[in-house]
Amino acid sequence: MSKFKENLTKDAGWKLLSVFIAICLWFVVINIENPVETRIFTSNLDIVNASYAEEAGKTITNAQEIEDTKISVRLRGKRMVLDKIQQNKSFSAYIDISSIDMDSSPESVSLPVKIKTGLLASDYVDTEYISPSDVEVYMDENVSKDFKVETIFNGSVESGVSVSSETIDPEYVKVYGAKGDVDKVASVKAVVNLDSPHNGQKVNSTLAAYDANGNQISDVYISRDVAVATLKMETERKIPVQAQYTGEPANGCSVGGLTINPNYVFVSGSPDVLDNIMYITLPDIDITGSSADVVRTYDVSVFLPTGAEVSGGSDGRITATVEITGKEKHDVSFDSDDIEITGTAQGAAEIEKDSFNIEVTGNDLSLEEIKYSLDVTGLAPGEHRVQVDISLPEDCSLIGQAPYATVIIGDETSQDILEEETQ
């Protein structure tokens, strides 16, 4: 043991010097093999604590733009430390949403970019620069809005067959998102792909939101991703329309013809329903005593059986016209002086000054043959409105009603005084 101590302490100075030189050489080697360097790292930008905005009822409207932002960072440190960061892929950049004061309801705020290296405390590095060093965060209020689901069809069906959605489930959906984005939504549509479709078939269709120009809006969320459409397959057929008239026109008149416009209509429905529709029959048109054309307008949908409906863009309105010929129309004017008073009233009768217009049909009409009279039988003193009686020549008729004239009946006392003074 004493010999070991003797050997250990022998030439102690030289031994200490050797240790010192070894340590110095170690530091030299380390600095040569692991020098201090600068290196640039790049990364996409992460958003952390985004739930803070959601809990405040807000949406980060430029979140995708932020996450697509490339961050460049230059770090200074030992080569081995920088190699560790690179090999472990532990470098990342982020912004922290929790640092925003949500109570102040900001529309935008600038946040500093922070980095993570995944290093231990002993693995020291310096950050020389970050580019960009901060980013702008835009926020908007979260809202929702209800929309009725519309269906659009992709694909083709056989000629003469139309397809529609008898039902769509759900019928309404909610659209969620930033107010600015939701306000752009004009409709929510279910895109139905047709592949050998059949009546009653249920088809799953993807829902999407569209703006007023038909462009799809991807920055919103829909309460349902898929809707189920029940297909309604219908055939379309051109159905003729027919009608007839009854009665006889006025004396001296005849029927020139019956026209129907349009004389057909497109009707859609299931084949078994359409096979039983050969034509559409309108109600009979009564022309009794008519001296002018008789025109009737109908809504043909009223005359269709259950399961059939008007199609082809038509409103289903049909006009039927029975042409009446053989008599000329005349505009006749007369005034109160042309009216003869008939009958006995309870006082003196006088017709108030007025003029009248009537329309008369007939050939070779002589105005002198038209007689006008007004019956005042039993009328009490006062003012009365009485219909004029118009007598027309044979084969002539009045269009419409005769006019009314105002008759003033004097009281009997005034009449007696007038008669005494006359005597």
Residue that is written with structure tokens 């497109």 in the block: 266
Of 137, 96, 138, 87, the residue nearest 115 (C-alpha): 96
Overall average pLDDT of the 118-144 stretch = 85
* Least confident piece of the model among 137-141, 197-201, 315-319: 197-201
Fold of 141-233: RNA Polymerase Alpha Subunit; Chain A, domain 2 (2.170.120)
pLDDT at residue 417, rounded to an integer: 46
Question: Is a pLDDT exceeding 80 seen at residue 173?
Answer: yes
Q: Which of 298, 156, 313, 165 is nearest to 236 (CA)?
A: 313
pLDDT at 199 over 50: yes
Class in CATH terms, 36-132: mainly beta
- What confidence category does residue 396 fall into, taking pLDDT thresholds of 50, 70 and 90? confident
Most confident option among 110-119, 158-167, 239-248: 239-248
Residue range 311-338: mean pLDDT, rounded: 87
Per-residue confidence (pLDDT) for residue 418, from 0 to 100: 45
Low-confidence winner among 31-45, 217-231, 351-365 (lowest mean pLDDT): 31-45
- Helix, strand, or coil here: 417? helix
Q: CATH for 243-325, among 2.170.120.40, 3.40.50.1100, 1.10.10.10, 1.10.8.10?
A: 2.170.120.40
**Percent above pLDDT 90 for the chain:** 43
Q: What is the mean pLDDT of residues 143-171?
A: 81
Q: How confident is the model at residue 12 (pLDDT cuts 50, 70, 90)?
A: low
Backbone angles phi, psi at 229, to 5 degrees: -100, 130
C-alpha dist (Å) from residue 120 to 74, 85, 422: 19, 11, 139
The pLDDT confidence band at residue 411, using thresholds 50, 70 and 90, is confident
Are residues 109 and 58 in contact, defined by beta-carbon separation less than 8 angstroms? Answer: no
pLDDT bucket at 270, cuts 50 / 70 / 90: confident
Beta strands 226-242 and 280-281, pairing class = parallel
Query: What is the distance between the alpha carbons of residues 29 and 23, in angstroms, rounded to a whole number?
Result: 10
What number is the average pLDDT over the span 70-87? Answer: 90
* Minimum mean pLDDT range among 106-115, 221-230, 406-415: 406-415
Task: Read off the tokens for 328.
Answer: 């000329």
Q: How far apart are CA 264 and CA 260, in angstroms?
A: 9
Instruction: Report whether pLDDT(2) > 80.
Output: no
Confidence check: pLDDT of 406 > 50: yes
Instruction: Supply the pLDDT for residue 269.
Output: 83
Residue 397's pLDDT band (boundaries 50, 70, 90)? confident
Residue 125 has a pLDDT of 87
Per the prediction, the chain carries an average pLDDT of: 84
Domains 243-325 and 329-422 share a fold: yes
Predicted confidence band of residue 85 (pLDDT cuts 50, 70, 90): confident
- Contact between residue 407 and residue 351 where contact means Cβ atoms under 8 Å apart: yes
Best-predicted range by mean pLDDT among 64-73, 228-237, 304-313?
Answer: 64-73
For residue 7, which phi and psi values (nearest 5 degrees)? -65, -35
> Which has the minimum average pLDDT: 90-99, 320-329, 333-342?
320-329
What tokens were used for 77? 């440190």
> Nearest CA to 331 among 360, 356, 290, 355?
360
CA distances from 217 to 91, 153, 168, 184, 268 (A): 34, 19, 21, 8, 35
Higher pLDDT, 423 or 93: 93
Q: Which of 402, 353, 347 shows the shortest CA–CA distance to 379?
A: 347
Q: Do 324 and 288 form a contact (C-beta atoms < 8 A)?
A: no
Q: CA angle, 386 as apex, 332 and 393 as ends, to 5°?
A: 35
Residue 170 has pLDDT above 80, yes or no: yes
Domains of the chain by residue range: 2-33, 36-132, 141-233, 243-325, 329-422
pLDDT on residue 5: 56
How many whole angstroms separate alpha carbon 20 and alpha carbon 383? Answer: 143
The one-letter amino acid at 335 = D
Tracing tokens 């108030």 back to the chain, one arrives at: 352
CA nearest 324: which of 419, 245, 418? 245
Which of 26-35, 110-119, 163-172 is the least confident region?
Answer: 26-35
> Among 6-10, 296-300, 361-365, whose mean pLDDT is lowest?
6-10
Residue whose token pair is 């003193």: 381
Give the Cα separation of 98 and 51 in Å (integer).
Answer: 8
**Looking at domain 329-422, does it have CATH number 2.170.120.30?**
yes
pLDDT of residue 293: 86
Cα–Cα dist 240/262, whole Å: 9
